[in-house]
Amino acid sequence: MYTDIITNENSIQKIKNTPLGISFYNVTNIKPHRHETLLEIILCLKGNIQLISADQTIELREGDVFSIDCMDIHYLHSQNKNNIIMSLYIDLSQVDTSFEYLRYTFFTCRSDACNQYQKLPMYNITDTLLSIAYIYLSHGNLNIHNLTNVYSKLANKLINIMLSYFEWYDYMNTNPNNNTNNISRERFNRILKFCQQNYMNKITVSEIAGREFINENYLSQFLSKSPFQSFSNMINYIRCYQSETFLLTTNLPNIEISYKCGFSDPKYFYKNFKKWYGHTPSEHRTQYIQQSNTLQQYQILQNSDILYVLEKHIARYHAFKITSIT
């Protein structure tokens, strides 16, 4: 019997009158879960953990940052409890309407994989996370107008950095400050959003080209420079990504899931799922069931447990900033 994936949001401390939530914890095992409208940014303050999301297992060490898109199913594991993790959550349903399409955006915000244009923005993200954490731990969740404004400005700063430097389109070592690249990114996002909203239907290159008022050859060349490298890769990845929810929250057979997600042939679904996730749909479902049956072990930390470690990180970043300026 399958049930909906847990959202694991009981541990999140909502910051009043802002789209932000925050939590500090150490972890042995956190079961697979997702956040429907929350963009999560993890900062490892001490120790190391494993983060498993979709087709990848990431080792997060002290100082590492990693973002998790809303609706991404993920879980955390560590061999010991000697870790301190901060998670900041941005509720995309509460941010400025100009950011609304964020829920259709894939981000690649990870400190261990920055290109030359992302190193300084990643420093700014870490610095902003530390600032939010320090303000929260120092002042608590007070409903003070000036404090609310500070949180809102820091949240907007994070979102703008993410949009400018860490959308998946920027993963191809292109200069995000280039105006031509900004126009290309907007086109890529329009195509991506349309495919995410219509993945269950037949979508053709001709249809997408018509929507963008370009010819098919130009569209193919354009997508060849994107992370997907082709239209077929893009739509098949999105269909596999959407199939994960059916695999992990229902007992529908794989054949039915393949048709629900727009695949005309179940064999094509199996082939593409293994290409993107590294194993078959059945293996992915079995792995999820095994992880869901493990004991949930994590501890929410109090301010006194975190403040000393946080101050060490802040001092280190301020020293780096002073050195960089001088």
Secondary structure of residue 122 in the 3-state scheme: helix
How far, rounded to the nearest angstrom, does the alpha carbon of residue 142 sit from its chain's CA centroid?
28
pLDDT tens digits, 38-56: 889 999 999 888 888 766 7
Calculate mean pLDDT across residues 54-81: 83
- Of the candidate CATH numbers 2.30.140.10, 1.10.10.60, 3.40.50.1860, 1.10.3720.10, the domain formed by 197-292 belongs to 1.10.10.60
pLDDT tens digits, 175-217: 545 545 667 777 887 888 899 899 999 999 999 999 999 999 9
The single-letter code of the amino acid at 11 is S
- Asked, colleague to colleague, whether 13-172+315-325 and 197-292 share their fold, the answer is no
For residues 220 and 231, give the distance between their C-alpha atoms in angstroms, rounded to a whole number.
7
For residue 68, give the nearest of 34, 101, 97, 91 by alpha carbon: 34
For residues 125 and 119, give the distance between their C-alpha atoms in angstroms, rounded to a whole number.
10
What pLDDT does residue 101 have?
Answer: 62
Structure confidence at residue 149 as a pLDDT band (50, 70, 90): confident
Point out which residues pair with 67 in neighbouring strands: 41
Q: Residue 148: is its pLDDT beyond 70?
A: yes
Q: Residue 118: is its pLDDT beyond 50?
A: yes
Distant-in-sequence, close-in-space partners of 143: CB < 8 Å, separation ≥ 6: 16, 17
Rg (CA), the chain: 21
Calculate mean pLDDT across residues 165-178: 57
Where is 184: in which H helix or E strand? helix 179-198
For the chain, what percent of residues have pLDDT higher than 70?
A: 80
Q: Residue 226: is its pLDDT beyond 50?
A: yes
What pLDDT does residue 203 have?
Answer: 94
What pLDDT does residue 220 have?
Answer: 92
Structure confidence at residue 128 as a pLDDT band (50, 70, 90): very high
| Average per-residue pLDDT for the chain | 80
**What residue ranges do the domains of the chain occupy?**
13-172+315-325, 197-292
Is the dihedral angle over the CA atoms 185, 190, 196, 200 positive or is it negative? negative
The CATH code of the domain at 13-172+315-325 is 2.60.120.10
Question: Helix, strand, coil shares of the chain as percentages rounded to 5?
Answer: 50, 20, 30
What pLDDT does residue 280 have?
Answer: 93
Rounded to a whole number of angstroms, the distance between the first and last alpha carbons of the chain is 61
For residues 11 and 18, give the distance between their C-alpha atoms in angstroms, rounded to a whole number.
17
Residue 224 backbone class (left: φ over 0; alpha: ψ -120 to 50; beta: rest): alpha
For residues 244 and 273, give the distance between their C-alpha atoms in angstroms, rounded to a whole number.
9
For residues 28 and 298, give the distance between their C-alpha atoms in angstroms, rounded to a whole number.
6
